[in-house]
Amino acid sequence: MNRPARIVLGVTGSIAAHKAIDIASQFTRLGHEVNVVLTRDAQRFVTALPFKTLSRRPVVTDLYDEDEGWKPRHITLADEADVLLIAPATANTLAKLAHGMADDALGCVALALNPAAAVVVAPAMNGKMWEHAATRANIGVLRSRGVEILGPDNGLLSCGYEGVGRLMEVERIVSRVVEILGARV
């Protein structure tokens, strides 16, 4: 790209939400513009402050957050994005994306997204939730729409189980998104 990529980083309500802070930091260090959208549930795990500090950009925490002016912030982000990365993505978020739910800022960004933008989702959840037929069906719908799914990985889960459900390693997420952006030049 001839300019820094515009990355919208959606963060949802998972214990892995703290890893999204590192994702934002790495993209910023690479020279990209990172705009973070925190869901209400994500804010139970992390706050806007580290994202705002590391990205040097305002953080959207509510559907009704606005820039100065008349255009809603979530629409501006959707219009200007080169990629929408949702990391971590919960089972609830996957279901909402698959069914076109737009009841929060992240859902609205996803539905209003610039058609040229890539959509990348990095799930993180309990292994039983990941393997559930409803989640598998939602993943199928998202893949059929061109959404790239990164992970989840195997390992020790926060619920105490061992198995699939861990957020993919941050470095691998960042590397794959950089590859996707490079292919869009």
Q: What residues are annotated to the active site?
A: 159
- Chain centre distance of CA 131: 20
CA gap 105, 107 in Å, rounded: 6
Please provide residue 176's backbone torsions phi and psi, each rounded to the nearest 5 degrees: -65, -40
Please provide residue 109's backbone torsions phi and psi, each rounded to the nearest 5 degrees: -60, -45
Contact criterion met (CB below 8 Å) for 127 and 157 = yes
Please tell me whether the peptide bond between 115 and the residue prior to it is cis, using omega within 30 degrees of 0: no
Please tell me whether the peptide bond between 88 and the residue prior to it is cis, using omega within 30 degrees of 0: yes
